Chain A
Amino acid sequence: MLTILKWGVVASFLNCITFLIIMVLKTSSFGKMPVYAKPQGKGKEGIFYAFGKGMMPWEKDSARRHILTYIGGMLYHGGIFAAFFYLFSLVISFEISKPLKFLFSLLIGLGFFSGVSLLVKRILLVSLRKISCADDFAANLVVDVFLALALLNTFYPGLKTYFYAISIILFLYVPVGKIRHCVFFFYTRILFGLFYGRRGVLPKKMKFNT
C-alpha cells in the first residue's frame, strides 16, 4: 500500500509540474507585448529589487500595517517548503539526521500554526471573506492538513500513509486552484521588476544631491 502511495505521490507531482508548465505556456498564447519606449532604467535591477528589498515589510505600507499577517505568510510558506523537502526525503528514502528532523518539525509546525491563523482570519474578517471564493478556503485547508500530517509524521513515522495520501490530493489540486501561484508568483514578480526597473522607478536612486 505504502509503495503504491509513494508512486502516487511521484505521479501526482509530475502531473502537477506538467500542468503548471502547460499553464505558463498557455499564457503565452495570449500574445506577447512588444516594448518600444526607450528605457530609463534597467529591468534586471528591477527584478533584483522585486525578489529582494521589494519583499521587505518596510517597503510596503500593507505589510507594515499588517506585520503579523506578513510574518504569518512568510512562516506559512517557509513551512510549506520545509514539508516538501521532508516529503522528498521520505520518497527517496533518505535518512535525515535528528537535528535536521527537529528543524523540519519546527518550520513545519510554525507553518501549520500560521496557515491555520490565516484561515481563521479569512473566515472571521468580513472584508477578506468578501474577496474570497471557495477555492481560497479549500486551498488553505488542503495545505494546512498537509502541514499537519507532515508535522505528525516527523514524530510518528507510522502516519506516512496519510501523509502520502494528502500529498497526492495537494499535488492534484495545485494546478486547478489558487495554489498555482507557486509558479505565477515568480512570473508576476519578474514582470513587476521589469516594469518598474525599465522605467527607473525601482530600485530607488538618488540621482541628485537633494
Chain B
Amino acid sequence: MNKEKRPSKDSFEDRIENIRPEDIKKVLQVFRYKLNNQSAAYLNSCVHCGLCADSCHYYLATGEIPSIPAYKLGLIEKIFKKNFTFLGRKAPGWVKAKDLTKDMLREWIDSLFGRCTLCGRCSLNCSVGLNIAYLIRAARGALASVGLVPPGLQSTIDTAIEKGNNMGLPKEDWIETVEWLEEELRAEVNDPQAEIPLDRKGSRLLYTVNPREPMFFPLSIVAVAKIFYAARESWTLSSENYDVTNYGFYSGDDDVSALISERLVKSMEKLGTQTLVLAECGHGFNSNRWEAPEWLTRKYGFEVKSILQIVTEYIQKGRLKLDPSKNPEPVTLHDPCNLVRFGGIVEEQRYILKQAVARFIEMNPNREKNFCCGGGGGQLAMTRFAKRRLEAGKIKADQIKETKAKIVASPCHNCIDQLLELSKHFDLRVKIKTVAEIVADALII
C-alpha cells in the first residue's frame, strides 16, 4: 500500500488547500483503476430525472439540492465525462464535464463523505437502477489514495490497522473483559460451568463482536453468550482478531478493507471453525459476507452468517425456548441498510422478534425500503458533518414516533449509536436494544 502520510485533524483543511497537481493526477488514476464495466455503464446511464431526490433522507430532511443523489452522482459524472467520454472532452460545457480541481475535490469531500451514508436507498428508487452508493464509494477510495478522508474516519481506520480493532482495545483488556463477562454469564444463568470460550480450536462457530461492545455495551456480549449457552452451542471468541467492523468499507480504500477483513479469515483458519458468525453490525455484515471475498479475490472455504440467521435456526429447531411476555413493551424494528438492503437479511430479525416480544410493530416503510437512520457511511466517525447527520436523522425519528413503540430493536451498533442520539435530539423517549438483548430477556432456561 503506497499511502500518503495521513493528515492530523487540524491539518485536514491545510491538506486540501495544499493539494499538489500530482495528488490530483493520482486521484484520477485511482478513480480510473476503480472503474470497471459496471461502473462505466452506470456513469453512462443517469438521465437526470431527479426521481431519486425523495428517496434520500438528507434531501428529505433538509431540502438542500446538493443532497439529491443525482447531484452527488453528477459530481462524479463531471470528472468521468471530462476524462473518458467524447462529448465531455470536445464540448465539456454541453454535458457539464469538468476538470478535477481543488474546488471540485472540496465538493467531492463535502458531498460524497458528508451527504451520503452509502445506504443505497436511491438505487432502488432510481428509474434506471444505478448503484449510486457503489460509485460514491469508488470516488471516496480515490480521495483516500491521497489522504483526503475526513480525519475522524481515517483515525478509526488507522487505529484498526495498528491495534487490531477500531477502538484500540489492548489484547489484555479484551481477555480480562471476557473473563469478567463470563462471571456475569454464570451469575445470570446460575451455572458455575457456563463459559465464554476464547480461542477454542475446532468449535463450530467463531463469533465476532463490535469493539464498542466490550468498551461501552458489554452486556450485549453476555446476551449473545446466554443465547449460545441456552442453545448448547459449540462456539468461541478469538483473543486477537474479533473485530466485525471494517471502516475501510466507508473510506472506499479496498486495500485497507482487504487487510482488515483478512484478519477474520486468519482467525477462522487458525481456530479451524466452520462458520464465521457476524455480530449485529450492518456494515460488518456487508463487508465480511459480501465484499471481503471480492477484496481478497478468493472464495471462502467456510460459511459466513449473521447472528440473526443463527438465532433463527435455533428457534426453528427448538433449541431456544422464548417467552414473549417477558418483553411486554411494544417493540419496533430499524432495518440497517447494509444488513437488509445490501445484505439480504430481511425476514430473520422479524421472525425472531415476533417470537420474543409481546407486541411487534413495523415501521413504515420497512425492509429493503426502509430509511437509513443517518449513522452509516462512517458518519458517526466524521464529526465535521455531525450537525447534518442529526438533521438527516429526522426522517428516521418521525418513523419511530409514528409506531408509538417503547423499544427500538436495531441489529447494528452504528445504528444504535445514531438512534441513541436521535432519541435524545428529537425527544423520542425510546430504549434502543440489539435483537440479541431482547432475545436474551425472553429466554426460558
Contacts and interface: CB of A to CB of B under 8 A. Distances in A.
B128 A181 contact: yes
B347 interface: yes
Contacts of B275: none
B54 A135 contact: no
Contact of B290 (A37, A50, A178): A37
Contacts of B291: 37
Given A38-B299, A191-B38, A73 B127 contact: yes
A39 B432 CA distance: 32
Interface in B249-308: 289-294, 296-300, 304
Given A33-B36, A61-B369, A65-B54, A136 B128 contact: no
Given A131-B74, A180-B44, A191-B131, A210 B347 contact: yes
Nearest to A187: B41
B38 A33 contact: yes
A4 interface: no
A133 B344 contact: no
Interface stretch (B89-97, B109-117, B157-165, B174-182): B89-97
Interface in A32-50: 32-38, 40-41, 50
A157 interface: no
How many A residues touch the partner, as a band? 35 or more
Interface of A: 23-24, 26-28, 30-38, 40-41, 50, 54, 59-63, 65-66, 69-70, 73, 125-128, 130-136, 138, 176-178, 180-181, 184-185, 187-189, 191-193, 195, 199-202, 204-210
B190 to A, nearest CB: 32
B48 A133 contact: yes
Contact of B344 (A26, A60, A199): A199
Contacts of A33: 36-38, 294
B209 interface: no
A31 B37 contact: yes
Contacts of B369: 61
Nearest to A127: B65
B49 interface: yes
A73 B298 CA distance: 43
Given A50-B129, A130-B71, A37 B87 contact: no
Contact of B124 (A41, A60, A70): A60
A37 B291 CA distance: 7
Nearest to A69: B51
A54 B125 CA distance: 9
Most B CB within 10 A of own CB, among A33, A195, A204: A195
B128 A61 contact: no
18 contacts: A27-B44, A30-B39, A34-B297, A40-B344, A50-B129, A61-B369, A62-B51, A62-B53, A69-B51, A126-B65, A127-B53, A131-B48, A134-B94, A176-B86, A184-B44, A187-B45, A188-B130, A201-B368
B51 A181 contact: no
B347 A206 contact: yes
B215 interface: no
A192 B42 CA distance: 10
Q: Which of A41, A50, A187: most chain B Cβ within 10 A? A: A187
B185 interface: no
Interface of B: 35-42, 44-45, 47-55, 65, 68, 70-71, 74, 86-87, 93-96, 123-131, 289-294, 296-300, 304, 312, 316, 340-344, 346-348, 350-351, 354, 365, 367-369
B125 A62 contact: yes
Given A65-B54, A184-B44, A191-B42, 6 more contacts: A32-B36, A61-B54, A127-B65, A133-B95, A185-B128, A205-B347
A209 to B, nearest CB: 8
Given A133-B48, A178-B48, A208-B351, A188 B42 contact: yes
Contacts of B124: 59-60
Given A130-B71, A180-B44, A188-B45, A135 B129 contact: no
Contacts of A201: 340-344, 346, 368
A206 to B, nearest CB: 6
B68 to A, nearest CB: 6
Contacts of B127: 62-63, 73
A201 B351 CA distance: 16
Contacts of B354: 210
Given A63-B51, A127-B53, A188-B45, A36 B293 contact: yes
Contacts of B128: 181, 184-185, 188-189
A136 B95 CA distance: 8
Contacts of B39: 30
B285 to A, nearest CB: 11
A70 B296 CA distance: 41
Contact of B37 (A27, A195, A200, A207): A27
B65 A130 contact: yes
| Centre residue among A33, A73, A188, A189 by max chain B CB count within 10 A | A188
Contacts of A199: 290, 342-344
Nearest to B90: A176
Contacts of A31: 35-37
Contacts of B51: 60, 62-63, 66, 69-70
